[in-house]
């Protein structure tokens, strides 16, 4: 995990409002995930590949207990992939379009 992406150095503040709105619209029944998104306010690092995808949980820590991916779709058709932990916390988000290109 990288600690810097462009002009951002982790820990870095993050506003999840757009993600919360998307989740409330697309997966309203997933109340634990929506609650978890509300606590995603600090980026602890960035994807090592250089894409800048944010991490909210250190992937090498004991808190990283990956369970599954939940996919949301932005209005422009781009997938937003949530890395969901067993306790429903969001570990990171991946912006699908970048990953499709690389």
Q: Which pLDDT tens digit goes with each residue over 48-71?
A: 888 889 999 999 999 999 999 999
Average pLDDT, the chain: 91
Query: Taking the CB of residue 53, how many other CB atoms lie within 10 A of it?
Result: 20
Query: DSSP of the chain, one letter per residue?
Result: -BSEETTEESSEE---HHHHHHHHHH-TT-HHHHHHHHT--EE-EE-TTSS--EESS-TTSTT--EEEEEEEE-TTS-EEEEEEETTS-EEEEEEHHHHHH-
Q: Residue 97: its pLDDT value, please?
A: 58
Average pLDDT rounded to a whole number, residues 67-81: 94
Q: pTM higher than 0.75, yes or no?
A: yes
């Amino acid at each position: 995990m990288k600690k810097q992406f462009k002009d951002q150095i982790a820990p870095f503040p993050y506003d999840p409002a757009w993600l919360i709105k998307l989740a409330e619209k697309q997966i309203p029944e997933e109340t634990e995930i929506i609650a978890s998104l509300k606590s995603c306010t600090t980026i602890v690092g960035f994807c090592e590949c250089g894409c800048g995808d944010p991490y909210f949980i250190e992937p090498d820590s004991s808190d990283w207990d990956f369970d599954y991916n939940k996919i949301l779709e932005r209005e422009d058709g781009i997938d937003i992939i949530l890395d969901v932990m067993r306790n429903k916390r969001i570990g990171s988000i991946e912006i699908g379009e970048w990953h499709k290109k690389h």
